[in-house]
């Protein structure tokens, strides 16, 4: 996670990076631009839900609750912790995604015909649109009630 954050700091001019963590005891001293947000006590996903297998899947599911966790942010870039940014990404902030919920990379193997399946490892999320349409609540509900093979990624592809 630190390597991913460092690569982002070096290759962009972002002024804030959020680490979504499970406790308040992050073991390293972090730069001021990084804020840790403890989500251990935020109960968006039931531990006995069909997509909740362990703490790792809980953290993956939390990506779909970012509109609630970050109520003052309208647009965020969500990166998997194993993603390295190796070139300047500042132009991403100039992408007009309109009222679309997400901008991400099409996954060719799972895209068929007119259905475009996107990979959520790197995605620009329109938190404002998710909140305004209440699509975030719909996704959280579905993740708590229906099983998806690839958790939040499949659910979001289905709902978006």
Q: pLDDT value at position 119?
A: 92
Q: pLDDT value at position 90?
A: 92
Q: pLDDT value at position 134?
A: 97
Half-sphere exposure of 134 (CA within 13 A, CB side): 2
The pLDDT confidence band at residue 37, using thresholds 50, 70 and 90, is confident
DSSP state of 117: P
Among the listed ranges 7-21, 24-38, 76-90, which one has the minimum average pLDDT value?
A: 24-38
Model-wide pTM > 0.85: yes
Spatial CA neighbour of 67 closest among 114, 5, 20, 6: 20
The per-residue pLDDT for range 108-136, each reduced to its tens digit, is 999 998 899 999 989 999 999 999 999 99
Q: pLDDT value at position 93?
A: 86
The pLDDT confidence band at residue 156, using thresholds 50, 70 and 90, is very high
Please report the domains of the chain, with CATH numbers, ordered by start residue: 2-159 (3.90.550.10)
Residue with the bigger pLDDT between 19 and 139: it is 139
Q: pLDDT value at position 144?
A: 94
Q: pLDDT value at position 43?
A: 84
**Nearest 5 degrees, angle CA 154-CA 64-CA 33?**
130
Q: pLDDT value at position 128?
A: 97
Mean pLDDT throughout 143-157? 94
3-state secondary structure of 82: coil
Spatial CA neighbour of 153 closest among 130, 122, 127: 122
End-to-end CA distance of the chain: 28
The pLDDT confidence band at residue 59, using thresholds 50, 70 and 90, is confident
Mean pLDDT throughout 13-39? 83
């Amino acid at each position: 996670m630190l390597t991913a954050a460092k690569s982002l700091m070096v290759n962009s001019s972002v002024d804030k990076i959020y680490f979504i963590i499970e406790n308040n005891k992050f073991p390293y001293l972090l730069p001021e631009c990084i804020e840790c947000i403890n989500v251990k006590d935020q109960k968006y996903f039931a531990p006995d839900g069909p997509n909740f297998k362990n703490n790792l899947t809980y953290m993956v599911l939390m990506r779909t609750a970012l509109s609630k966790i970050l109520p003052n942010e309208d647009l965020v870039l969500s990166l998997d912790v194993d993603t390295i940014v190796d070139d300047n990404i500042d132009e991403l902030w100039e992408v007009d995604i309109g009222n679309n919920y997400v901008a991400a990379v099409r996954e060719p193997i799972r895209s068929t015909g007119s259905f475009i399946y996107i990979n959520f490892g790197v995605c620009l999320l329109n938190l404002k649109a998710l909140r305004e349409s209440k699509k975030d609540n719909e996704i959280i509900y579905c993740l708590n009630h229906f099983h998806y093979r690839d958790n939040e990624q499949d659910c979001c592809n289905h709902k978006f």
